[in-house]
Amino acid sequence: MPTLKPVRAFALLLVLACAAPANLVRADDPPPLSTGQTLYVPAYSSVWHGNLNERGKPAEIQLSAMLSVRNTDPKYRLTLSSVKYYDTAGKMLREYLQEPRLLAPMGTVAYFVEHQEREGGTGANFVVTWRAERPINQPIAETVQVYHWGTQAKAFISRGQAIHTHE
C-alpha cells in the first residue's frame, strides 16, 4: 500500500477537517438547552453476584435505590410531569407523581425504592418526563443504588439519558 508524503497527509487532514459538519458537538461543549425531555434512568433493585448454584442461578443481593432529579439551570424552573418506575419485564410498577411537580432553579428532588422491594429486579428503571417554559439547561437524573448490611456497604450510580426530546 502506498504511503502519503507528510505534506499530502497534512493537506488531506486539512480538507477533511474543513469538510466536517459545523454542527458537531465536541465532548467539552455543554449540552444543548431544551424545553423538555423523557429520560430513561437505570435502577437496580437487585444485582447478581458470586458463583452459580446447583440450579445454575447466581446469588442475588437486594438494593435500595434513590432516583435524584437535579435542575441544573441557575435561573429557570422546570416541571416534572411524570416519574414512572418499571420492572425488568417493562411493566410499570408505580407512578410517583399524582400531579406535576415544580423544581426550582438548582433544586433537587428524590424518589425512593426500598431495599425490601423485589418486583423491580436487575433491569428496573425510571422514566422521567419534564418540561420547561423556555429552553433551559438539561437536568441530571441518576439513581444511587445502595446495599448496607452490618459493617459492609456497597453503592453505585447510574446516569439517565434522554430517549425523547419534546418540542
Residue 136: how many other CB atoms lie within 10 Å: 22
Pairwise CA distance, residues 12 & 2, whole Å:
15
* Yes or no: domain 32-165 corresponds to CATH 1.10.3470: no
Per-residue model confidence as pLDDT tens digits over 110-156: 999 998 888 999 999 999 999 999 999 999 999 999 998 889 888 99
Compute the half-sphere exposure of residue 34: CA atoms within 13 Å on the CB side of its CA: 22
Per-residue model confidence as pLDDT tens digits over 27-85: 678 889 999 999 999 999 889 888 999 999 998 889 999 999 999 999 999 999 999 99
State phi, psi for 78 to the nearest 5 degrees.
Answer: -130, 165
Pairwise CA distance, residues 95 & 126, whole Å:
10
Return the domain boundaries, the chain. 32-165
Does the reported pTM lie above 0.75?
yes
